[in-house]
Amino acid sequence: MKKLLLASNNAKKLKELDALLAPLGYVLIPQGELGIPEAEEPHPTFIENALAKARHAARLSGLPALADDSGLCVHALAGAPGVISARYAGEPKSDARNNEKLLADLAPHTDRRAHFVSCLVLCRHTNDPQPLIAEGEWHGEILTELRGTEGFGYDPLFFVPALGRTAAELEPELKNRVSHRGQAMQRLLARLQGA
């Protein structure tokens, strides 16, 4: 098994990424297991934050590190919540409060288009001059009420017209294939195999 450090302590993100990597012989270790604290995420873009997290984890662990910075971008809200998706309603992080705030902010709008973004960065070592970077987008719209019990974050509000269901109504295997994170991981794996 090839070890990769996950620059996150998010158990649900770990589960999704682990399922995508396991068939290729990779095992993900959450950074918390090695006592590595969360990195600062001060940047305005997904790619900058993912790169900062991956470099931070690689530097403190000595292992190759994988980081995912992802979030929801809503057309009518000029891309918000964007990079602050996990903390949209403030600290402490709360999926329920984030969803409530999103519904309140979208209430005056008829345009419900949105997309999830995932930016994956793999630093093979601390000073990797060419980290592997892959992005994925998943397009849908925001409902006016929660539907489904799977997934996490904004999944119960994110409706995918092509599937006729919310992200929270999808089986984990299907979500892993079609989601923003699944798309980004397929691109990253293709780059890994060619690297």
SS3 186: helix
Does 69 participate in catalysis according to the annotation?
yes
Element (H, E) at 30: strand 26-30
Q: Are strands 132-142 and 2-6 parallel, antiparallel or unpaired?
A: unpaired
Q: Helices 11-21 and 180-194, interaxial angle, to 10°?
A: 50
One of 18, 68, 69, 111 is an active-site residue; which one? 69
Tokens of 11: 């158990």
Phi-psi label, residue 53: left if phi above 0, alpha if psi -120 to 50, beta otherwise: alpha
Catalytic (active-site) positions? 69
